[in-house]
Structure 1
Amino acid sequence: MADHVSKKVIIVGGSLGGLFTGIVFHRLGYNVTILERNLPSALKDQGAGISLSTLYPPLRESFKKLGTSGSPLVDFLEQYDRTKTPSLSLTQFQYLNKDGSVKEKIDIAGKFASWELLYNVMRANFDSGYELGYVRAAGKREGDGIATYLSGVRVIDLKEVGNLVRVEYESMEVRSTLEADIVVAADGASSTVRKILLPEVGRIYAGYLIWRGTVRESFLDEETRIFLSGKLSQSFSKNSQAINYSIPGLNGSLDPAEILANCVWYSNANEEELKRILTDSRGVSHIYSLGIGKIDPNIKIEQIKAAKAILPPPLAEVFQKIEHPFIQAVTDNLAPKSVFMGGKVFLVGDALAGLRPHTAAGTAQAAMNALLLKNVFEKDGGMGIEEWEKASVDWAKFAQNVGVQMGNLSQFGDHPMADNGEPPK
């Protein structure tokens, strides 16, 4: 789309995917409004790490075919991050046996960050006045559009009205509407926009969940800290996969005393067990996730016992020392198309396809979608809307299939790197 007359864009969803897309349109001169369902307090202390680098070779090669370096997140930051906030580099990947010994080591060149750090960096690049002590404001430049970020906004409906799309939303129990030339749905795996457009597409539980959380590496025993710090460590056993890697500390700190150990532990649970685990400490049932500080203490005690029995001692120690873990059910969702209303509405990121976390490519997918949208909407970008849709949907199908294979092998199969020997004494 070489020339555009339209200048208004609404992004539904203000997490990373929404911010990536919002930044792209903002830098192209569009006036962008992001509508985020959660209040700012709900987006703090997410307690999760993110691999900026795409490490799994088949996915890296698939990204290269779409014109990226193979790591769209790294590409996005190089092109759009005016704050130049540093990430953490890891150089070694190690598979662990159940007794904690190293089965295999692989040299890697990976960049890692925390969700909260990346979110605040993206906010600083989108909102010209957004600034924290550790992330400086990016500032507005000539040619940038107007950027507006609204929190606590629940989208109710959207309709095509002539050449525009009207979005109806509710904030503080007051209903309002906005109209725009382009609407991008970046509202996650449970996307409201996707439910409106494709009500038949929902989330399907995969049969297992993830325990996640962080703890300062300096809080670990010295031997464990030295063994894990600066590395990506992984172990497999029957129906279990556990991963640990270092990420920046609070406020993006790279001080060794504040670097965090980030734990990701996949654990099987049938539907009945899932319901029990996702019932919080107040007896309230949740469907797909249970946030920090909400887990029933008895459930946490059960999982700590399981960690001691299943995980290699270094990874078990990390899990035991996480004060407030959180839980996410692993689900699949895939939309058969990503463009609607004659090229005025787009699905991106998890709203388009929720990938299994084994791929470590969900955030990269959103970055890739945004980078390719730039090629559609910038002058002489060289990509048409139909081409963008084919590229985004075809890649999503491929990546979801890869993730399903990885998850089924680790959780229900006989993984070649699994060690099902006797647990440590």
Structure 2
Amino acid sequence: MSGTSSRVTNSHSAAVIGGSLGGLFAANMLRSAGWEVEVFERSLHDLDSRGGGIVLQPSVIDVLRRSGCSLPAESLGVASRYRIVFRPDGSVQSHHYAPQIQTSWSLIYTTLRNAFGLEHYHRGYTLNDIKMISPNRVDALFDNGASVEADLLIGADGGGSTVRSLLWAHSEPHYAGYVAWRGLIPESAVPEEVRSVLLGNFAFANNQGSHILGYLVPGEHNDVTPGRRLYNWVWYRTVSAQTLPALLIDRYGQKRSYSVPEGLLSDTWRRELHIQADTLLPPPFRR
């Protein structure tokens, strides 16, 4: 489609800008309702190596099934049986039966993309402009010279959305006052002394300006085999607006807008993270 114009003749046609989870959810649901859908992703590469753990809520399972994904829920992730909350000293504040399934960004992305197929999933399309042809018709213009007309345009292109900036030029995200540190480690690397309380449970811990959670997720190549899975942890921390710019400078000195990519955290902030862990986290998470 590069360098061409495409006119979708179906009276129910949609152009989805962004081929990540939001775009694929929308595309699959629209198609299941009889719409003709084209997805446009700016990256030239697959996205299935990005992201960490996701809690598989019942609504997500419902949308997957309505999108034509007939996989059983247990194949979509790793089950946990109990929710456990630690006090800062490591003692157990609560422990109750709450079965749930935790999955990974990669597995959900792969499942949705396979359901949608590649014929109408276009990589390397960066949106440049949007023009209204009529009250009920829109034209999406891309930097490779292509243009696509549709009845509906969906902006699913992330936090730095081009669609949003084109429609609301002065709309800027505001810092909420906290950041999320994320990590993944092989379950075999989880220290032996804390496996019994962390692995197989959905664990939490709170402290002043600190909230951490952790659970097992599928491993490499979406493998859910015990011993090959990953332990996913997310640690929410309050960080002042004055400190945030320094935190977002990666190990090579490049300033990032919203997040530091995997492997590029500076040594300074890695050391600081360990210091904060010793101060704020209960022993199981600290280990």
What is the TM-score normalised by the length of structure 1? 0.62
Identity between Structure 1 and Structure 2 (%): 31
Partner of 2:4: none
Separation in structure 2 between the aligned mates of residue 297 and residue 81 of structure 1, nearest angstrom: 45
Partner of 1:258: 228
Report if the CA contact (8 A) 1:47-1:212 is conserved. no
- 3-state SS of paired residue (1:188): coil
Post-superposition shift, 1:181?
Answer: 1.7
Q: String of CA shifts for 1:121-145, please: whole Å, max 9, x gaps.
A: 1111010xx6xxxxxxxxxxxxxxx
Picking from 17, 20, 24, the partner of 2:29 is: 24
Post-superposition shift, 1:105?
Answer: 1.0
Report if the CA contact (8 A) 1:169-1:176 is conserved. yes
Q: String of CA shifts for 1:180-215, please: whole Å, max 9, x gaps.
A: 121111122322112222233321101111100211
Separation in structure 2 between the aligned mates of residue 107 and residue 242 of structure 1, nearest angstrom: 19
Aligned residues: 275
Residues 81, 100 of structure 1: alpha-carbon distance in 2 compared, 3 angstrom cutoff: farther
Picking from 141, 161, 167, the partner of 2:133 is: 161
Partner of 1:104: 94
Q: Does 1:92 align with 2:64?
A: no
Partner of 2:160: 190
| Equivalent residues in 2 for 1:6-17, closer than 5 Å | 6-17=11-22
Residues 26, 77 of structure 1: alpha-carbon distance in 2 compared, 3 angstrom cutoff: same
Determine which structure has the larger helix proportion and give its number.
1
Q: Does 1:120 align with 2:120?
A: no
Whichever residue aligns with residue 120 of structure 1, its letter is T
- 3-state SS of paired residue (1:295): coil
- 3-state SS of paired residue (1:271): coil
Post-superposition shift, 1:90?
Answer: 1.4
Separation in structure 2 between the aligned mates of residue 224 and residue 10 of structure 1, nearest angstrom: 48
Q: String of CA shifts for 1:340-369, please: whole Å, max 9, x gaps.
A: xxxxxxxxxxxxxxxxxxxxxxxxxxxxxx
Separation in structure 2 between the aligned mates of residue 47 and residue 212 of structure 1, nearest angstrom: 9
What is the TM-score normalised by the length of structure 2? 0.90
Separation in structure 2 between the aligned mates of residue 244 and residue 308 of structure 1, nearest angstrom: 17
Separation in structure 2 between the aligned mates of residue 282 and residue 265 of structure 1, nearest angstrom: 24
Partner of 1:79: 66
Report if the CA contact (8 A) 2:32-2:66 is conserved. no
Report if the CA contact (8 A) 1:47-1:214 is conserved. no
Report if the CA contact (8 A) 2:216-2:229 is conserved. yes
Post-superposition shift, 1:239?
Answer: 0.8
Residues 248, 103 of structure 1: alpha-carbon distance in 2 compared, 3 angstrom cutoff: same
Post-superposition shift, 1:301?
Answer: 1.5
Q: String of CA shifts for 1:278-317, please: whole Å, max 9, x gaps.
A: 1011111011111111111221121112112211121122
- 3-state SS of paired residue (1:89): strand
Whichever residue aligns with residue 90 of structure 1, its letter is S
Q: String of CA shifts for 1:50-105, please: whole Å, max 9, x gaps.
A: 1112xxxxxxxxxxxxxxxxx32121123224351432221211110122221111
Cα-Cα RMSD: 1.8
Greater shift after overlay, 231-240 or 73-82?
A: 73-82
Report if the CA contact (8 A) 1:94-1:105 is conserved. yes
Report if the CA contact (8 A) 2:19-2:39 is conserved. yes
Separation in structure 2 between the aligned mates of residue 81 and residue 254 of structure 1, nearest angstrom: 22
Separation in structure 2 between the aligned mates of residue 47 and residue 25 of structure 1, nearest angstrom: 25
User: What stretches of structure 1 of length at least 5 have no aligned partner?
Assistant: 54-70, 131-146, 318-425
Whichever residue aligns with residue 46 of structure 1, its letter is R
User: What stretches of structure 2 of length at least 5 have no aligned partner?
Assistant: 1-8
Whichever residue aligns with residue 282 of structure 1, its letter is Y
Residues 47, 13 of structure 1: alpha-carbon distance in 2 compared, 3 angstrom cutoff: closer
Separation in structure 2 between the aligned mates of residue 78 and residue 90 of structure 1, nearest angstrom: 21
Partner of 2:272: 302
Partner of 2:55: 51
Picking from 228, 248, 254, the partner of 1:278 is: 248
Whichever residue aligns with residue 222 of structure 2, its letter is G
| Equivalent residues in 2 for 1:181-330, closer than 5 Å | 181-317=151-287
Separation in structure 2 between the aligned mates of residue 119 and residue 161 of structure 1, nearest angstrom: 33
